[in-house]
Amino acid sequence: MATAEPSNNDPHIELGLNAAIVMVRNQQPHILVARPGAPGAGDWDALPFGPFAPRAHRTLEVGLREWVERQTGIELGYVEQLYTFGDRGRHAEPGGAHTLSVGYLALTGEPGGEMMGAHWSPWYAYLPWEDWRCGKPQILTDVIEPNLKEWAERSPTPGESDRALRRPERLKIGFGIGGGWDEEKVLERYELLYEAGLVEEAKRDGRSAARQWKDFPEIGRPMALDHRRILATAMGRLRGKLKYRPVVFELLPPEFTLYDLQTTVEAISGTLLHKQNFRRLVEKGGLVETTGSVSTETGGRPARLYRFRREVVLERPAPGLRVKAGRS
């Protein structure tokens, strides 16, 4: 089988590191974004990113931690590599080097102090169809679903007919149109919107599908380069991770109430949970232990304070919160 020979005109490859850094504040998940005008971001919000320097950094993760701390003052806790993003044509950056971006998910408690060149932004501002805590998002009913159904009825693009699943089947799996909603399929939903030309990034990148629409409202706040795709990957990964790893405690202070724990899980998963069922699940799983102290900041009766019981990691192979999402 013949293979393509590299061309002398091929651009150089550069390796960058991107971080979706997540924090929960006031029951809302936030991500750290670079201010508009940051290098390479233009006027679009961007995830913090920087180059990998192999002579200065022993590993990719070491490089990520070093420049995030240097640029923002944040010392990252939990860090997990997501994926390498390098598709040609996924952002409007003609000429120059082609960048491979290694994406990371990072979790942190609420840091103090002012950061230079970055700020915290609600992550549902970028993916508003993912937050079901107040019921089905209106943007799904009014904008996304009717436009996706119209797109699904169009003739497939060249090569698309060879795919295993047709457009209506993909809408059922991704958006639950004619089926059920899976909160972990965040990336699949964003990719469908991009392919259908319904997000600003598709228009910016010159995708033909975007030219088939006349005027449509902004569907979530766009981001620089491929960063909303990286954010969607991070959101889906974290939602899945909640079920078999105790990562939620990276987003909480050392001592917390069960209400704090529940609202943090709800914020990340984008769904409301039954209070008593959730508490029984937490206590049965042995994930927390009482500190013997109480909090008087709840506005009502003093609430018991708990802490994460670290021994559970040694006792169980998958000590997560296998909560069942509820929808109204």
Query: Which of 104, 125, 146 represents a domain boundary (last residue)?
Result: 125
Task: Quickly state the pLDDT bin for 314 (edges 50, 70, 90).
Answer: low
Are residues 41 and 121 both part of a single domain?
Answer: yes
Q: Mean pLDDT: which of 49-58, 216-225, 227-236 is highest?
A: 227-236
Q: Are residues 267 and 295 in the same domain?
A: yes
pLDDT at 169 over 50: yes
Give the end of a domain, one of 125, 144, 167: 125
Predicted confidence (pLDDT) per residue in 228-274, tens digit:
999 999 999 999 999 888 899 999 999 999 999 999 999 999 999 99
> 143 with 197, same domain?
yes
> Using one digit for the tens of pLDDT, what is the confidence trace for 275-284?
999 998 888 8
Number of domains in the chain: 3
- Above 60 in pLDDT, residue 39? no
pLDDT given at position 100: 77
Helix axes 186-195, 167-175, angle to 10 degrees: 140
Q: Which domain holds residue 38?
A: 13-125
Residue 230 lies in a domain: no
Q: Over 70: is that where the pLDDT of 148 sits?
A: yes
Higher-scoring residue by pLDDT: 327, 150: 150
CB atoms within 10 A of CB 182: 17
* Cβ-contact 18, 35 below 8 angstroms: no
| pLDDT reported for residue 163 | 57
On whether both 99 and 33 belong to a single domain, the answer is yes
Model pLDDT, residue 1: 47
Question: What mean pLDDT is predicted for residues 282-304?
Answer: 83
Amino acid at 255: E
| CATH assignment of the domain containing 20 | 3.90.79.10
Domain assignment present for 6: no
**Average pLDDT of the segment spanning 297-302:** 72
The upper half-sphere exposure of residue 180, i.e. CA atoms within 13 Å in the direction of its Cβ, equals: 6
Q: In whole angstroms, what is the distance from residue 81 CA to residue 10 CA? A: 28
